[in-house]
Structure 1
Amino acid sequence: MFFVRTASERDLVQVRALLAETWHATYDSFYGVDKVNELTARWHSIDALKARLQRKNAEFVVADNGREIAGMGFAAMSDRLEKTTILHQLYVLPKYQRQGIGRDLFAELETCFPDAERMRVEVEPQNLHALAFYRAHGFTDVASTASCGDEHSGIPALILEKRLV
């Protein structure tokens, strides 16, 4: 059984490995191994993950069974959108997907921001499993972007939003 808890610095090596495995399983067929390696090196380095741990108005959680971390999530209050939480990451190792771990991580993150009125997430349009997950959890499409994650990614995404109040 996995329990959701706040991440710590001692988790970052496992979280980085989880992100690399999950990203390759999900995105290699869309972008190719080289692009996934590039993005993973930039976005999922230990330094990048440490910065998330230290970020104010943010929550970084993991699903842990005492031996292994099966999933992770990171959300933060938006710097640009009033009363909006941005769900930056929600990933579960492929072998543990469809077992409720993503649901449990999301449920925790959804309650961490009492001042937020809405939550947003960016999802690759071809990632049908993720789109189905978020829509099943009350998200609706509100916009799109040509550069998910940062202005240099070149990755298109749908922007989904859920009312929290």
Structure 2
Amino acid sequence: MFVRTAGDRDLAAIRALLVETWHATYDAIYGPARVTAIAEEWHSIAALKARLTKPNSEFLVADDGKRIGGVAFAESIDGGELVVLKQLYVLPTLQGRGIGGMLLDEVIECFPEAQAVRLEVEKRNTHAIAFYEANGFVRSGDAGERARATGEATLVYHRPLAG
């Protein structure tokens, strides 16, 4: 897999990846019907397309030339000092192969002025929490923006970056 910037031609594959990954990850948390509804809103082609041109952001895919195996989206705030990781998902069949780490590393490289990365994760998503903690993130709070959108308890994590 190699990591590159997402483009228009990737949107259908990104959407399919997100729908599959969301069902695998969140059906047990939200239920399949709620996951489908969230995916229709958050992972529509129009919503994904808007990310391609969003200022101060990076939309990345992990690609092996045949398929997209992972996706990440992040944006900088506070004058570029803080990166907010909004999405990092890897196809369930490809998890545990370093793709998530590659995407995370590339997100960080895309924002050289950043002092820290922040993210939010569902409290019951123990697999993702373990991944982020293994990659240097420390829990710094509860109930962020995503909790308000989903109603599910979330945790906020930060990772300081060497400047």
TM-score over 0.5 for the pair: yes
CA distance in 1, matches of 2:83, 2:149: 22
Aligned residue number for residue 159 of structure 2: 162
User: Secondary structure of 1:4's match?
Assistant: strand
Aligned residue number for residue 77 of structure 1: 76
Deviates more, 1:94-103 or 1:139-148: 139-148
Write out the 4+ residue segments of structure 1 that deviate beyond 2 Å after TM superposition.
none
Deviates more, 1:11-20 or 1:35-44: 35-44
User: Secondary structure of 1:55's match?
Assistant: coil
Aligned residue number for residue 16 of structure 2: 17
Aligned residue number for residue 32 of structure 1: 31
User: Secondary structure of 2:58's match?
Assistant: strand
Kindly indicate whether the alpha-carbon contact (under 8 Å) linking 2:80 and 2:111 is maintained by their aligned counterparts in 1. no
CA distance in 1, matches of 2:79, 2:135: 21
CA distance in 1, matches of 2:52, 2:80: 22
**Alignment match of 1:121 (pick from 119, 123, 147):** 119
When normalised by structure 1's length, the TM-score is: 0.93
Aligned residue number for residue 52 of structure 2: 53
Confirm whether residue 91 of structure 1 aligns to residue 107 of structure 2. Answer: no
Shift of 1:146: 6.0
Kindly indicate whether the alpha-carbon contact (under 8 Å) linking 1:146 and 1:155 is maintained by their aligned counterparts in 2. no
Alignment length, in residue pairs?
162
Kindly indicate whether the alpha-carbon contact (under 8 Å) linking 1:77 and 1:83 is maintained by their aligned counterparts in 2. yes
Structure 2: 5+ residue stretches without partners: none
Letter in 2 for 1:74: F
Kindly indicate whether the alpha-carbon contact (under 8 Å) linking 2:70 and 2:100 is maintained by their aligned counterparts in 1. yes
The alpha-carbon distance between structure 1 residues 159 and 153, as it changes in their structure 2 partners (threshold 3 A), is: same
Aligned residue number for residue 141 of structure 2: 143
The alpha-carbon distance between structure 1 residues 146 and 84, as it changes in their structure 2 partners (threshold 3 A), is: closer
Letter in 2 for 1:102: G
Summarize deviations over 1:25-54 as a string: whole Å, max 9, x none: 000011101110111111100111011111
Structure 1: 5+ residue stretches without partners: none
When normalised by structure 2's length, the TM-score is: 0.95
Shift of 1:81: 8.0
Shift of 1:154: 1.4
